[in-house]
């Protein structure tokens, strides 16, 4: 099965979401009678060559500029240009650019097939709410949910990467020894990255140890391990990309709730703003902040912390009790949810 033949057989059902800001659209459909989710994202402008020149301030971070020597580069590639309006010193119009599958493809296309209800709901538009997840809520609601989410079927892609050589040709770094399994991890391009443009670099580091499902399982005993992991990530990745991205240009973070409950770290170029939050739900916490917090969180670490984040109504946790908890929390705090219930302060 290759992507092109699957997309050809895709039968459209409805639009799940479309975002003019991120230039992403997600469609629900089916392929051979099974649910499928197609996501398309307009790619960032690509120039033929990225050249580094030392910054004027003498700081180590270089300034990028693009040498436009290629027929597909932005200016040279304009095949059609129509002015809409001008006003004083301002001009705007629309254009068509020459495109090429290797040099400057139009869009990055992701397909999930067969897609489960979890996938579909994850991409579907939904109302969002701020919730405080207390340690009790974690124990009573989240833990049983995580257990159900850790089926071997759902984790297959992770195990394929760790043990079956999947995506092997794209692996950036791998460290593993039987003697020291806990320190082992793999770094490779995330599915979210087009793999071309360093400005939108997005990698994921997946650890071999499987005793940490999420942020919640981290306690001070993990602190040194995380410090080592952070240090390795920030050393290896700039090296691998020939310092086209520097150690202090990487945003290294975790998601909570994650989509997959096997410890992994997101690594993103800071030039790609707000990435990781495009879905609007969950929280993003920098690895550095985690390390810092473990220094004073007490022996049980994140197990004892209340975590405040955004949850969507499509998330399973919403109907498993988070919806009711949000109402209870507002009531407890004395915050009215509508004018009839009496707005204002007492
Ligand atoms: P998360 O924080 O659990 O979920 O991160 P979210 O970011 O989707 O909310 C999991 C990360 O793994 C995401 O950044 C995914 O894009 C990425 N990812 C998911 N899958 C199924 C794959 C895959 O098969 N290969 C690679 N390379 N990355 C994946």
244-268 residue pLDDT tens: 899 999 999 999 999 999 999 999 9
Identify the top-confidence range among 32-41, 174-183, 276-285: 32-41
H-helix segments, the chain: 3-8, 117-123, 135-137, 143-149, 156-163, 223-240, 287-294, 316-317, 323-332
Q: How confident is the model at residue 83 (pLDDT cuts 50, 70, 90)?
A: very high
SS3 content of the chain, % helix, strand, coil (to 5): 30, 30, 40
CB 77 within 8 A of CB 95: no
Question: Candidates 253, 260, 311: which one to mutate for ligand 1, based on the most atoms within 8 Å of Cβ?
Answer: 260
Tokens of 71: 């027929």
Categorize the per-residue pLDDT at 226 as very low, low, confident or very high, splitting at 50, 70 and 90.
very high
> What's the rounded Cα separation, in Å, for the pair 88 and 236?
50
| 3-state SS class at 166 | coil
**Beta strand 202-207 with 185-189: parallel, antiparallel or unpaired?**
antiparallel
Tell me the CA–centroid distance for residue 300 and ligand 1, in Å: 27
Q: Are strands 49-53 and 34-42 parallel, antiparallel or unpaired?
A: unpaired
Task: State the distance from the centre of ligand 1 to the C-alpha of 191, rounded, in angstroms.
Answer: 6
Mean pLDDT for the stretch of residues 131-159 = 96
Mean pLDDT of the chain: 89
pLDDT-based confidence at 76, cuts 50/70/90?
Answer: confident
Distances (CA, A) of 186 to 151, 161, 199: 21, 8, 22
Q: Which atom of ligand 1 lies at the shortest distance from residue 282's CA?
A: 9
Q: Please indicate whether residue 264 is annotated as part of the active site.
A: yes
Residue 184: pLDDT over 90:
yes
Tell me what pLDDT residue 177 has.
85
Count the Cβ atoms, other than its own, within 10 Å of residue 208: 19
Calculated CA dihedral for residues 339, 342, 345, 346, nearest 10 degrees: 180
Residue 289, SS3 per DSSP: helix
Asked whether the beta carbons of 218 and 293 are under 8 A apart, the reply is no
Dist. CA 124–CA 118, nearest whole Å? 10
Which residue among 119, 129, 264, 272 is the active-site one?
264
Predicted confidence (pLDDT) per residue in 281-300, tens digit: 889 999 999 999 999 999 99
The predicted complex's ipTM stands at 0.98
């Amino acid at each position: 099965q290759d992507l092109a033949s699957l997309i050809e057989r895709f039968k459209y059902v409805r639009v799940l979401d479309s975002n003019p800001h991120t230039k992403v659209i997600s469609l629900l459909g089916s392929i051979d009678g099974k649910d499928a989710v197609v996501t398309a994202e307009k790619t960032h402008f690509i120039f033929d060559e990225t050249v580094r020149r030392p910054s004027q301030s003498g700081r180590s971070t270089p300034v990028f500029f693009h040498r436009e020597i290629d027929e597909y580069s932005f200016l040279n590639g304009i095949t059609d240009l129509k002015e809409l309006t001008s006003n004083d010193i301002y001009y705007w119009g629309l254009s068509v650019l020459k495109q090429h599958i290797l040099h400057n493809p139009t869009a990055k296309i992701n397909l999930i097939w067969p897609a489960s209800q979890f996938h579909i709901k994850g991409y579907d538009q939904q109302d969002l709410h701020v919730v405080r997840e207390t340690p009790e809520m974690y124990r009573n609601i989240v833990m049983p949910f995580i257990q159900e989410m850790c089926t071997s079927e759902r984790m297959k892609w992770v195990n394929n990467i760790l043990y079956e050589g999947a995506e092997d040709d794209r692996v950036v770094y791998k460290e593993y020894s039987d003697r020291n399994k806990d320190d082992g991890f793999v770094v490779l391009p995330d599915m979210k990255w087009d793999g071309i443009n360093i400005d939108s670099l997005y990698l994921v580091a997946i650890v071999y140890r499987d005793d940490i499902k999420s942020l919640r399982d981290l306690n001070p005993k993990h602190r040194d391990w995380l410090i080592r992991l952070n240090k390795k990530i920030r050393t290896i990745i700039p090296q691998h990309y020939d310092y086209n991205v520097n150690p202090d240009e990487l945003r290294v973070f975790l998601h909570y709730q994650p989509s997959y409950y096997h410890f992994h770290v997101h690594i993103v170029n800071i030039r790609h703003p707000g990435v990781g939050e495009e879905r609007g739900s969950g929280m993003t916490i920098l690895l550095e902040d985690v390390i810092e917090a473990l220094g004073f969180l007490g022996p049980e670490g994140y197990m004892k912390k209340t975590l405040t984040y955004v949850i969507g109504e499509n998330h399973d946790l919403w109907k498993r009790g988070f919806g009711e908890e949000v109402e209870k929390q507002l009531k407890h705090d004395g915050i009215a949810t509508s004018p009839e219930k009496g707005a204002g302060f007492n």
